[in-house]
Amino acid sequence: MKLWEKNSKLNKQIEQYTVGNDPKLDLNLVKYDCIASIAHAKMLHKIGILAKEELDKLEAELKNIIKLYHDGKFVIKLEDEDCHTAIENHLIKKLGNIGKKIHTARSRNDQVLTALRLYSKDKLKHIEKAVLELVASLKKLGVKHNSVEMPGYTHSRKAMPYTVGKYFGAFKDSLQDDLKLLATSYELIDQNPLGSAAGYGVNLNVDKKMTTKLLNFAKVQHNELYCQNSRGKFESIVLFALDQIMLDLGKLAGDLILFSMDEFGYFKLPEEFCTGSSIMPHKKNPDVLELMRAKASVVNSYVFQVINIINGLQSGFNRDFQLTKEPLMKGLEITLDSVKVMNLVLSGIKVNKENCKKACTREIYSVNKANELVKKGMPFRDAYKKLK
Amino acid sequence: MKLWEKNSKLNKQIEQYTVGNDPKLDLNLVKYDCIASIAHAKMLHKIGILAKEELDKLEAELKNIIKLYHDGKFVIKLEDEDCHTAIENHLIKKLGNIGKKIHTARSRNDQVLTALRLYSKDKLKHIEKAVLELVASLKKLGVKHNSVEMPGYTHSRKAMPYTVGKYFGAFKDSLQDDLKLLATSYELIDQNPLGSAAGYGVNLNVDKKMTTKLLNFAKVQHNELYCQNSRGKFESIVLFALDQIMLDLGKLAGDLILFSMDEFGYFKLPEEFCTGSSIMPHKKNPDVLELMRAKASVVNSYVFQVINIINGLQSGFNRDFQLTKEPLMKGLEITLDSVKVMNLVLSGIKVNKENCKKACTREIYSVNKANELVKKGMPFRDAYKKLK
Amino acid sequence: MKLWEKNSKLNKQIEQYTVGNDPKLDLNLVKYDCIASIAHAKMLHKIGILAKEELDKLEAELKNIIKLYHDGKFVIKLEDEDCHTAIENHLIKKLGNIGKKIHTARSRNDQVLTALRLYSKDKLKHIEKAVLELVASLKKLGVKHNSVEMPGYTHSRKAMPYTVGKYFGAFKDSLQDDLKLLATSYELIDQNPLGSAAGYGVNLNVDKKMTTKLLNFAKVQHNELYCQNSRGKFESIVLFALDQIMLDLGKLAGDLILFSMDEFGYFKLPEEFCTGSSIMPHKKNPDVLELMRAKASVVNSYVFQVINIINGLQSGFNRDFQLTKEPLMKGLEITLDSVKVMNLVLSGIKVNKENCKKACTREIYSVNKANELVKKGMPFRDAYKKLK
Amino acid sequence: MKLWEKNSKLNKQIEQYTVGNDPKLDLNLVKYDCIASIAHAKMLHKIGILAKEELDKLEAELKNIIKLYHDGKFVIKLEDEDCHTAIENHLIKKLGNIGKKIHTARSRNDQVLTALRLYSKDKLKHIEKAVLELVASLKKLGVKHNSVEMPGYTHSRKAMPYTVGKYFGAFKDSLQDDLKLLATSYELIDQNPLGSAAGYGVNLNVDKKMTTKLLNFAKVQHNELYCQNSRGKFESIVLFALDQIMLDLGKLAGDLILFSMDEFGYFKLPEEFCTGSSIMPHKKNPDVLELMRAKASVVNSYVFQVINIINGLQSGFNRDFQLTKEPLMKGLEITLDSVKVMNLVLSGIKVNKENCKKACTREIYSVNKANELVKKGMPFRDAYKKLK
């Protein structure tokens, strides 16, 4: 049963179209919605809406829902639309009138926002940790191959001598910069929207500071309309930070595919990381890297998808926002998986020093030679021309 | 078991990352892959690879797989990677050596292409039919409200008088143009890639004309490399044609949301198409239209996603292609659903003639008045200035 | 002076912001707007708005404007906003009252549409011709290198033997398919919007068939609102057709960059097509191909720029449409240039047969060997496993 | 003359295609390239490549070039390709051998990076200042209309009462959050790439710390390859920060267009901010807001244009990077202009208190009523149902 159930029943086809895959996606939010509801109940108790006993029962049942969810036993039915409705219905079924009080002073609009932010903050913490591990791996590779010379390329042509260590170092530095963007996106979403209700507050004495503290948000997001206007906006900012990480992984994946071709042979993927062909017995393919490259493009398209959806909307909540959930959730999951898998790949990759050395052919030292002439006093441009 | 199973086992984490949600998506392809395999088997029989008895057994078992699939009993396991492997494994399990012969003269690369095109052609036919029905509804609305005057808007400001009939007519004409693009996308994918194998053919006397006829393709796609290079490209073209339909629906949805606001009141959605609010008892919301508008943006992002994935890839098959399946399938499904739902919405929508009439305020007839002066001989620009 | 000049002057900062670079872009449209105005004037004469003598003077002066434009002497001032205003102002200055009549029964809205379509049709014809020339070049290359063996790649790994001829043939076929999409986009824009005025017609007996014939459009675009709603929509369809061509060129460019690396050496760019480095004396860089690859991405972004702009707009003209002009014009120009430059590149490219042959190493014949066993009666899957 | 001029002349058509509009765009960089060159020369003096007298002459002439540029007298010819070449050629022409020394220990690759970052930092400072001014205006509006009630909307339907002051406050808070993202993008690009040369350093004892201090960068970007790999990446991050500002402006613009329709009448644009129609004497159009909305979409497309261009490129410099300059420069300019114009618009906008009040119809107080029942002890869900 929907929270807003009317006399005339919603058309079935329209119900299916509007609910979409929310019941499935919202499983990701059950835990966070319960945590937020506990904080909300505590606040309602403080401002006199809930008695202590009512609060205790609600808290116990909300914790029970979290347990049910972890045991795979909490179900969101199509008729329930989303996790928020399923949870309220569950509370009413179990606690009667007490359950009917939980939605005081809030709307699904601020409820979704709160749950999504708690969920996202959690995921971002995991991603940050995984990126730091990847950075550590790249640092180790940098040290290990510190003195292995390989050709540096410009315009896809051998340019000047570089080292394998510094090659990996470039990605380490890039990911460290990405973490700054990730931290900013985290800081931006770390604002408590609970109590903004439908986007215009309520005529009750809501204590936002209290829920902010209970939910471990850095601050209150005061302007209620901005709470709603930041839906999608914040998602796009989080996804863009993920996108930068993914673009780095995609670039590294592309390089590794190239440099592990027989024609180069600088790197080698272990066999247990390679897949084969259905027709060609000899093939060993770097599918894992190809898919990582492709997933970078996918996450990139999610940024665009979210902005596409929200761009042009009137201020305040619009149902369009619902469709920003999927790209956000997928983007977070893909990024976490990809960072971990790249770390695994780097743990197995072999550097073929001989091939690297052999590829450092004479011409890539042309600038060095020009600089020798410079040191002897020849203007650089003359030295350059002499060596052309 | 994978078709290419090697001695060293594929790392589990990498297996999961590379297989992704193929087992789920590929359920959409089982039927089409079996149909294509039957045609392939007939061809192998013709060129002497399969005996008549072998062909018969393969055909019977492939038809059985289709039946299993329809009964929800055909399962694609993670270890099987995709439907193609699951089907070959099933055939080998049931038919032994005969099953081991089915993959002669083909690769998964051309197999996927073939199945995807048969699948897409089928879906496109359904979409075309649904769009034609929607066109018919719009035509009917056009006739019905032929003489109901409403204001035409430019710059979101009342501009000149128009009619409700012609308003709906604009969308009818637009969708009819979209059908031309849809037909072109259909024509482009209506080429048989079967026999191109991994993208470079095989040294067997494959009869592509025969499978083309059996599978009801319009022609052979001769160049084997082009078969692979058109992967993703064709998907993007199909999605772009769908995108145009969706953009029309999104535009119509946006208009209907606006014009059914109380501030306009030109149109009214029946209550059984509206949803409510969790906090505001009075609300009747046009969620179905908001989501349609958002889904237009989503399908648009799929075009971009597919092009993002394939742009920059070396010629020939790359595993990146795998990720173009999901946006294609989702795009086809969303479009079909949306066209049908819009048709449903239009069947219920009410035109409030009085409000339309009332909104036709004096100023929107300013051009008419200028033209009256023109008819009396005044140059238009002077008449315009006089009326300013 | 603006056509709509009011008593209160438009704020200067806002004038600059709204006019933007229209005066520059619109130079591309002067000729087409004059041609359309001549047809419009003839129609106005036919329906009795203009006397024969007035028509003759207007026609002569409009032809004079075309001449002035070709001589670089027709100027569009910021205060004139656009070419349409500049032309009307010019006519009024030269012909007085006669000039004041030209805008009868039309708006800038249908005027812009008409001029843009005439302009686009012209450019599309040039692009079609250039693509056909490129197709011919690819065909010639295909025949010339028909029997030169080179490795075909999958997953960026050598897969099976192919030929240089067929390699180029893949791009020939792809471009030929692109021409079908181009033709559809041409067909869609080949509709006459003149007479739709601001998007809601006028109360004058406009003869749209007459202008359709005079302007060589295939048909009338009857629904006036659809004329406006197709603005941006049609641009996106044209750009998408160009995008497909550009993506093909970008893919070919990427391949040529790769295969002309010393590590492959299959192709070689003549020196007069290569650029150098400011610091490295030895470099010969394929900048032309890198930029073509990048321009494919740029044109791709134009498709989404246009859709971005129009997505979410209310029906009817919105000033947002103005910004779709630049991506359309640039997209047409970049594509025309790129097709021609690719043709030039192909005219100079050298195929190194020896390197191609040498690269055809033993393992790429593994399928051939498996098929030999198949011919002797071994099931393919067993042959495959034997050769692994 | 190009820096890398070879014996065989570059083909004219290819020269035009590759140089593109760099000579025009690079005018924006002349000043910054000269400033960077002065710092570079000082460093070359310190490490013994340039004598004090040589340094002095170079510094004087570089300052002279800045002056010439400000006087509109510094020209970049097509044959010069870009500002870097034009400047070196100028120096050689004026100073002979001394000019030939300036390019020691650097490449155009790090030169472009340095100039672009100095340019971008400058522009970002201006944008930050303009946004702060807009924030101040919004704050003032918020205070001024603090107690003016207007309806808050959800699903484009009147929802609950809000105030005009808080309405503007939502945008103030949003822009303040945008400034955090802007600051992060500034911090990321505030790294000195000078001395990384072509992306692989040089065998000279370059003092990067010295140039970092002279150019007022926050730190050295040590890894030379990362300097190149961050090209495009950093541009996309800057553009995304601008995009968020533009999306806010676009949203505000869209709201203002809607709420200033006669059907709402909450706001009114002064006449000197409105434009008219070529055909309809009565029209007053909000073109400035429509174009701002459209420009938000344009800047959004620039983010994806840049990522499109760099996605999939091999590590190290690729000429594709050249095409990231235009979207960056345009994005910075459009954003700066738009923020200023929005500030102007807000300075003139009128709030119609009566219309705002009148629109606060009975139903939007339904939650308030429900809460009154809640205060009397009724569970919220029951109160909600009672009021439905």
DSSP string, D239-268: HHHHHHHHHHHHHHHHHHHHHTSTTT-SEE
Q: Tell me the C-alpha distance between B15 and B19, whole Å.
A: 6
Please give the pLDDT value at position A4.
Answer: 77
The pLDDT tens digits for D150-195 are 999 999 999 999 999 999 999 999 999 999 999 999 999 999 999 9
CATH of the domain at B146: 1.20.200.10
Please give the pLDDT value at position A3.
Answer: 78
Give the three-class secondary structure for C33.
helix
Please give the pLDDT value at position B388.
Answer: 82
H/E segment holding residue B110: helix B108-144
Residues of chain A with pLDDT under 70: 6-7
Please give the pLDDT value at position D7.
Answer: 65
Chain B residues closer than 8 Å to D308 by CB = 308, 311
Chain D residues closer than 8 Å to B283 by CB = 154-155, 157, 159
Residue C197 lies in a domain: yes
Last residue of a domain, one of B100, B134, B162: B100
- Residue A28 sits at φ, ψ, to 5 deg, of -65, -20
Nearest CA in chain C to B7: C388
A381 to D202: CB separation less than 8 angstroms, yes or no:
no
Please give the pLDDT value at position B147.
Answer: 94
Closest CA to C234 of C312, C325, C319, C315: C325
Give the three-class secondary structure for C263.
coil
Burial of residue C375 (number of CB atoms within 10 Å: 0-12, 13-18, 19+): middle
Q: Domain count for chain A, please give it.
A: 3
Q: Which residue of the set A277, A297, A315, A347 is catalytic?
A: A277
Please give the pLDDT value at position B41.
Answer: 98
Contact predicate C203/C114, CB 8 Å: no
Pairing of strands B157-163, B149-154: antiparallel
Pairing of strands D149-154, D157-163: antiparallel
Q: Tell me the C-alpha distance between B233 and B200, whole Å.
A: 18
Please give the pLDDT value at position D6.
Answer: 67
Q: Tell me the C-alpha distance between D257 and D273, whole Å.
A: 13
CATH of the domain at D77: 1.10.275.10
Task: Out of D102, D169, D226, name the one closest to residue A223 (CB).
Answer: D169
Long-range contacts of B72-81 (CB under 8 A, 24+ apart): B74/B27, B74/B30, B76/B22, B76/B23, B76/B24, B76/B26, B76/B27, B76/B30, B77/B23, B78/B15, B78/B16, B78/B19, B78/B23, B79/B1, B79/B2, B79/B15, B80/B1, B80/B2, B80/B23, B81/B2, B81/B19, B81/B22, B81/B23
Please give the pLDDT value at position D153.
Answer: 98
Per-residue pLDDT at D9 exceeds 90: no
Task: Out of D280, D308, D312, name the one closest to residue B367 (CB).
Answer: D280
Contacts of residue C256, defined as CB under 8 A and 6 or more positions apart, other chains included, come to C267, C269, C286, C289, C345, C349
Contact predicate A30/A63, CB 8 Å: no
User: Do B135 and B258 share a domain, yes or no?
Assistant: yes
B84 to A278: CB separation less than 8 angstroms, yes or no:
yes
**pLDDT-derived band of residue D79, with 50, 70 and 90 as boundaries?**
confident
| Partners of B219 in beta bridges | B191
Residues of C marked as catalytic: 155, 277
Residue C108 lies in a domain: no
- The amino acid occupying position A279 is I
The pLDDT tens digits for D318-332 are 999 999 999 999 999
- The amino acid occupying position D5 is E
Q: Tell me the C-alpha distance between A299 and B308, whole Å.
A: 10
Nearest CA in chain D to A47: D375
Q: Tell me the C-alpha distance between A58 and D313, whole Å.
A: 55
User: Do B224 and B369 share a domain, yes or no?
Assistant: no
Burial of residue A301 (number of CB atoms within 10 Å: 0-12, 13-18, 19+): buried
Mutate: best of B160, B269, B283, partner D, most D CBs <10 A: B283
Residue B116 lies in a domain: no
Please give the pLDDT value at position C78.
Answer: 86
Residue C110 lies in a domain: no
C283 to A367: CB separation less than 8 angstroms, yes or no:
no
User: Do A213 and A167 share a domain, yes or no?
Assistant: yes
Average pLDDT taken over every residue of chain D = 96
Task: Out of A155, A262, A281, name the one closest to residue C290 (CB).
Answer: A155
User: Do D44 and D191 share a domain, yes or no?
Assistant: no
Q: Which residues of B touch D (CB under 8 A)?
A: 154-160, 257-258, 261-264, 276-277, 279-287, 290, 304, 308, 311-313, 363-364, 366-367, 370, 384-385, 387-388
Q: Tell me the C-alpha distance between B107 and D316, whole Å.
A: 36
User: Do D205 and D237 share a domain, yes or no?
Assistant: yes
Give the three-class secondary structure for D167.
helix
Chain A residues closer than 8 Å to C277 by CB = 154, 159
User: Do C174 and C25 share a domain, yes or no?
Assistant: no
**pLDDT-derived band of residue C5, with 50, 70 and 90 as boundaries?**
confident
Contacts of residue C255, defined as CB under 8 A and 6 or more positions apart, other chains included, come to B314, B315
Please give the pLDDT value at position D361.
Answer: 96
Mutate: best of D4, D273, D280, D337, partner C, most C CBs <10 A: D4
Q: Tell me the C-alpha distance between C142 and C163, whole Å.
A: 9
Please give the pLDDT value at position B146.
Answer: 94
Closest CA to D41 of D100, D85, D83, D96: D100
Average pLDDT taken over every residue of chain B = 96
Q: Which residues of C touch A (CB under 8 A)?
A: 154-160, 257-258, 261-264, 276-277, 279-287, 290, 304, 308, 311-313, 363-364, 366-367, 370, 384-388
Could you tell me what percentage of chain B is helix, strand and coil, using 3-state DSSP and rounding each to the nearest 5? 70, 5, 25
Task: Compute chain A's Rg from CA coordinates.
Answer: 27
Residue B113 lies in a domain: no
Alpha helices in chain C (DSSP H): 12-19, 22-25, 30-46, 52-70, 83-95, 108-144, 164-189, 208-214, 224-229, 233-259, 287-310, 325-348, 353-359, 366-375, 380-386
A283 to C367: CB separation less than 8 angstroms, yes or no:
no
User: Do B367 and B314 share a domain, yes or no?
Assistant: no
User: Do B267 and B314 share a domain, yes or no?
Assistant: yes
Chain B residues closer than 8 Å to D258 by CB = 156
Q: Tell me the C-alpha distance between C143 and C255, whole Å.
A: 20
Neighbours of D377 (CB within 10 A): 9
Q: Tell me the C-alpha distance between A24 and A78, whole Å.
A: 9
Minimal C-alpha gap between D366 and chain A (Å): 11
**pLDDT-derived band of residue C6, with 50, 70 and 90 as boundaries?**
low
Residues of chain B with pLDDT under 70: 6-7
Q: How is residue C218 annotated by DSSP? A: S
User: Do A65 and A168 share a domain, yes or no?
Assistant: no
Nearest CA in chain C to D254: C313
Task: Out of B10, B283, B309, name the one closest to residue A275 (CB).
Answer: B10
The pLDDT tens digits for D205-261 are 999 999 999 999 999 999 999 999 999 999 999 999 999 999 999 999 999 999 999
Task: Compute chain D's Rg from CA coordinates.
Answer: 27
Mutate: best of B157, B264, B274, partner D, most D CBs <10 A: B157
Residue B40 lies in a domain: yes
Q: Which domain holds residue A45?
A: 12-100
Q: Tell me the C-alpha distance between B330 and B323, whole Å.
A: 12
D8 to C272: CB separation less than 8 angstroms, yes or no:
yes
Match 């690759």 to its residue by tokens: D109
Give the number of A-D residue pairs with CB atoms closer than 8 Å: 256
Residue C267 lies in a domain: yes
Q: Which residue of the set A40, A137, A147, A155 is catalytic?
A: A155
Contact predicate B279/A106, CB 8 Å: yes
Pairing of strands B267-268, B157-163: unpaired
- The amino acid occupying position D72 is G
Closest CA to D62 of D13, D97, D99, D111: D99
Q: What pTM, to 2 d.p., does this model score?
A: 0.97
Neighbours of B380 (CB within 10 A): 23
Q: Between the CA atoms of D127, D130, D131 and D136, what dihedral angle is there, to the nearest 10 degrees?
A: 160
Contact predicate B305/A301, CB 8 Å: yes
User: Do B326 and B367 share a domain, yes or no?
Assistant: no
Please give the pLDDT value at position B7.
Answer: 65
Give the number of A-C residue pairs with CB atoms closer than 8 Å: 103
Pairing of strands C219-220, D219-220: unpaired
Residue A111 lies in a domain: no
Minimal C-alpha gap between D31 and chain A (Å): 23
B282 to D387: CB separation less than 8 angstroms, yes or no:
yes
Contacts of residue C363, defined as CB under 8 A and 6 or more positions apart, other chains included, come to A282, C158
- For B236, how many CA atoms within 13 A lie in the half-sphere containing its CB? 28
Mutate: best of D257, D260, D283, partner B, most B CBs <10 A: D283
User: Do D374 and D230 share a domain, yes or no?
Assistant: no
| Partners of B18 in beta bridges | none
Contact predicate B115/B32, CB 8 Å: yes
Per-residue pLDDT at D98 exceeds 80: yes
Please give the pLDDT value at position B330.
Answer: 98
Contacts of residue C28, defined as CB under 8 A and 6 or more positions apart, other chains included, come to C119, C329
User: Do B367 and B343 share a domain, yes or no?
Assistant: no
* Active site (annotated) includes residue A45: no
What the block records as the tokens of B240 is 């772009």
Report angle CA A223, A227, A231 to the nearest 5 degrees: 155
